[in-house]
Amino acid sequence: MQTKWVICPKETIDKEAICQAGEIIRSGGLVAFPTETVYGLGGDALSPDSSRKIYAAKGRPSDNPLIVHICRVEDMKKIAVDIPRQAYVLAEHFWPGPLTMILKKAEIVPKETTGGLDTVAVRLPDHEVAQAFIEQAGGFVAAPSANVSGRPSPTLAKYVYEDMNGKIEMLLDGGQVGIGVESTIIDLTEDIPVILRPGHVTQEMLQQVLGEVCLDPTMLDVTNTEAPKAPGMKYRHYAPQGELTIVTGDPAAVSDKIKQLLLEDSKNGRKTGVIVSRQDEHLYDADSVKVTGDREDMAAVARSLFRILREFDEEQIECMYVQAFPQDGIGQAVMNRMLKAAGHKIIEAKE
């Protein structure tokens, strides 16, 4: 199969391309598309066959459910039942936007799409191309991130192409995505809402509108070995080919430790990389120094993290280091993804 790569910026939507993309989905094919978080790999959410194709293209285990993307709040009622009041409150505050809600699924949603579960993940993305495409596709697009299972989620079309060329009919290229980490997932099927995956919509923001909101305890705790409730969170993810290590502690001790580790690695003939803020760029002598932005700018870290991990792979970097970030706000999502990329390898620098 030839994958058709079409440039489709949100400022000047190519209506013909969107129509074609919609037609592909309605006839059972797959189209990758931009959202505000990462690129998605879309198929018809109401077709078991389309969902099977998505799993095959990603090389993803079929017990790992897909998110159903909609383009109108009221469409939530067609795919979910017993919808709690909280879902409408959240929709009003955060949709369209980077928030996915877990609800009880309606009959119409096939088990192939939900990985065998009785619940369904629903999201209304804040991206003009995504919305126009979902509408043309019939209103219900199942879409995981458009990467091969285990690799970092794509934030640029060229990474979608790298992973999906020949496996999907079309790629809508909307340029670089804005947020860079996947949507927050909140489970509304429990008495107290639970965050299954942290994202741009933070725990603080959710608590402000809902009151009590907990965090799946398996999420950030390095030592917790319980299975997370979002099936996808149990797999090794975002893994670069080399080895990423997170270093925590006092900033001065952290940079001394990283310098020492870099020196040891290069003595052993290994190719090294570091992820740093602009302020720390000059500190390190590594084969590849990747700057995320200003030290305080966690949104820039989120936006660049997955791209940097892929660039390290392109440069065949073997040993990578990054300082731990504070886990408040979007920092929670960033650290969650970094811990996974590092296979939970985190060391403490002592003064």
Q: Which residues bind ligand TXA (CB under 6 A)?
A: 35, 37-38, 40, 64-67, 98, 100, 102, 114, 117, 119-121, 123, 125, 143-145, 182-183, 185, 196, 229-233
Give the nearer residue to ligand TXA in terms of CB position, either 46 or 349: 46
Question: Which CA distances in Å does 63 have to 55, 108, 116, 117, 148?
Answer: 10, 19, 7, 8, 16
Which residues are registered as beta bridge partners of 119? 104
Q: Which does 65 bind (CB under 5 to 8 A by kind): Mg ion, ligand TXA, none?
A: ligand TXA
**Min dist. Cβ of residue 85 to ligand TXA (A):** 20
Give the nearer residue to Mg ion in terms of CB position, either 121 or 201: 121
Do residues 21 and 141 lie in contact, with contact meaning Cβ atoms separated by under 8 Å? no
Question: Which residues have a Cβ under 8 Å from the Cβ of 234 and sit 6 or more positions away?
Answer: 227, 228
Give the nearer residue to Mg ion in terms of CB position, either 233 or 274: 233
**Min dist. Cβ of residue 340 to ligand TXA (A):** 11
Which residues are registered as beta bridge partners of 6? 172
- Compute the half-sphere exposure of residue 136: CA atoms within 13 Å on the CB side of its CA: 21
**Min dist. Cβ of residue 58 to Mg ion (A):** 8
**Min dist. Cβ of residue 162 to ligand TXA (A):** 17
Give the nearer residue to ligand TXA in terms of CB position, either 195 or 230: 230
Residues in the chain: 351
Instruction: Tell me 154's DSSP state.
Output: P
Q: Which does 114 bind (CB under 5 to 8 A by kind): ligand TXA, Mg ion, none?
A: ligand TXA
Give the nearer residue to ligand TXA in terms of CB position, either 154 or 273: 154
Q: Which does 46 bind (CB under 5 to 8 A by kind): ligand TXA, Mg ion, none?
A: none
Residue 92 class from Cβ within 10 Å (0-12 exposed, 13-18 middle, 19+ buried)?
exposed
Give the residues lining the site for Mg ion (CB under 5 A). Answer: 145
**Min dist. Cβ of residue 145 to ligand TXA (A):** 4
**Min dist. Cβ of residue 288 to ligand TXA (A):** 27
Q: Which does 143 bind (CB under 5 to 8 A by kind): ligand TXA, Mg ion, none?
A: ligand TXA
Instruction: Tell me 205's DSSP state.
Output: H
Give the nearer residue to ligand TXA in terms of CB position, either 218 or 245: 218
Give the nearer residue to Mg ion in terms of CB position, either 153 or 272: 153
Tokens of 299: 């949104």
Can you tell me whether residue 172 is helix, strand or coil? strand
Q: Which does 233 bind (CB under 5 to 8 A by kind): Mg ion, ligand TXA, none?
A: ligand TXA
Question: How many angstroms separate the most distant Cα atoms in the chain?
Answer: 62
Can you tell me whether residue 265 is helix, strand or coil? helix
Give the nearer residue to Mg ion in terms of CB position, either 163 or 173: 163
**Min dist. Cβ of residue 116 to ligand TXA (A):** 10
Q: Which does 66 bind (CB under 5 to 8 A by kind): ligand TXA, Mg ion, none?
A: ligand TXA
Distance CA 266, CA 33 (A): 40
Rg of the chain's alpha carbons, rounded to an integer? 20
- H helix intervals, the chain: 15-26, 48-58, 76-79, 85-94, 128-136, 157-164, 203-210, 251-267, 298-314, 331-341
**Min dist. Cβ of residue 268 to ligand TXA (A):** 35
Q: Which does 31 bind (CB under 5 to 8 A by kind): Mg ion, ligand TXA, none?
A: none
Q: Which does 230 bind (CB under 5 to 8 A by kind): Mg ion, ligand TXA, none?
A: ligand TXA
